[in-house]
Amino acid sequence: MEFTFHAVGVVRSPYKEKFGIPRQPALAPAARLSIELTPPYNHPDSVRGLEAFSHIWVSFVFHETADRGWQPLVRPPRLGGNAKVGVFASRATHRPNPIGLSLVRLDEVDTRHGVVLRISGADLLDGTPVLDIKPYIPFVESRPEAVGGFVDGPPPLLTVVWREAARQQLAEDPRLPADFAELVEQVLAQDPRPAYQDDPARIYGVLLYHCNVRFSVVENTATVLEILSAAQN
Ligand code: SAH
């Protein structure tokens, strides 16, 4: 059976590339994103009543990797990149239908110009096409007794420290949002490095907003080395 779906909106996100995006929503609550609904779905009637919900389910297309196909077995980062589980036992992005599902906080429904949903803590790339939005219903969907398989509990976190020069660069960039430092800390604490990589000499870069945040990792500590704004890249 084949179906054709149309995107109902597009994500605007500080995450400009896949590297560094937390592996699930809620892990970096300082990430502020929005979903802009596109015509003909961007009429205020389409979201009437939604503002009364604190969280929404967002289904979307993994558009950046949609053409890469899928395998029945995948290696979840959570298992260190060596053990395999079935694709349907994982939240891997490479799936038979490249559809993602994220539960995110809904901060505001803005209907001043079309419809913009302001959300936080999402694990979504800038430009992600949104297929659907549904309210989260806590009494049905919150299951504290549920068993979490190989992802039972949050991942271990890195400690994040700043070089003085990087802190200085933060202070000097008026375009950065007030909670940018918090976002950097939450993103790096997740340890964005690929499984297996443990090279203390290596310098990594995560793109957030218009900045390239350069960092290194030694044992359990990530150090923010410098913040290059787009003009300098
Ligand atoms: N919560 C979703 C996504 C989990 S995978 C679900 O369970 O279905 C999360 C990863 O998806 C992120 O780390 C990011 O690398 C990747 N991602 C986010 N938006 C994407 C997009 N538009 N295309 C491809 N990959 C994307």
Q: Which domains does the chain have, with CATH numbers?
A: 9-141 (2.40.30.70), 159-232 (3.30.2310.20)
172 C-alpha to center of ligand 1: Å?
A: 32
The pLDDT tens digits of the residues spanning 17-69 come to: 999 999 999 999 999 999 999 999 999 999 999 999 999 999 999 999 999 99
Write down the pLDDT at residue 231. 64
Q: Across all residues in the chain, what is the average pLDDT?
A: 95
The mean per-residue pLDDT over the stretch 147-152 comes to: 90
User: Which atom of ligand 1 is the closest one to the Cα of 21?
Assistant: 13
163 C-alpha to center of ligand 1: Å?
A: 30
Tokens of 219: 């044992």
- Cβ(125) – ligand 1 distance below 6 Å: yes
41 C-alpha to center of ligand 1: Å?
A: 23
The pLDDT tens digits of the residues spanning 85-110 come to: 999 999 999 999 999 999 999 999 99
* Whole-structure pTM value: 0.95
168 C-alpha to center of ligand 1: Å?
A: 32
Write down the pLDDT at residue 233. 45
Ligand 1, atom 18, lies closest to the CA of 124
Question: Which residues does 98 contact at the CB level (< 8 Å), separation at least 6?
Answer: 61, 62, 63, 65, 66
- Cβ(185) – ligand 1 distance below 6 Å: no
Question: Which residues does 114 contact at the CB level (< 8 Å), separation at least 6?
Answer: 36, 37, 39, 42
The mean per-residue pLDDT over the stretch 182-194 comes to: 95
Write down the pLDDT at residue 152. 83
Instruction: Give the separation between CA 232 and CA 210, rounded to whole angstroms.
Output: 10
User: Which atom of ligand 1 is the closest one to the Cα of 18?
Assistant: 15
Under 8 Å between Cβ of 129 and 60: yes
In DSSP terms, 33 is beta-bridged to 119
- Cβ(94) – ligand 1 distance below 6 Å: no
B/e letters for 24-50, b = 16+ CB within 10 Å, e = fewer, are bbbbbbbbbbbbbbbeebbeeeebeee
Percentage of the chain beyond pLDDT 90 is 87
Question: Which residues does 18 contact at the CB level (< 8 Å), separation at least 6?
Answer: 64, 65, 125
121 C-alpha to center of ligand 1: Å?
A: 13
In DSSP terms, 35 is beta-bridged to 11, 117
Under 8 Å between Cβ of 5 and 114: no
- Cβ(24) – ligand 1 distance below 6 Å: yes
- Confidence check: pLDDT of 194 > 90: no
Among 175-179, 209-213, 215-219, name the one with the lowest average pLDDT.
175-179
Write down the pLDDT at residue 122. 96
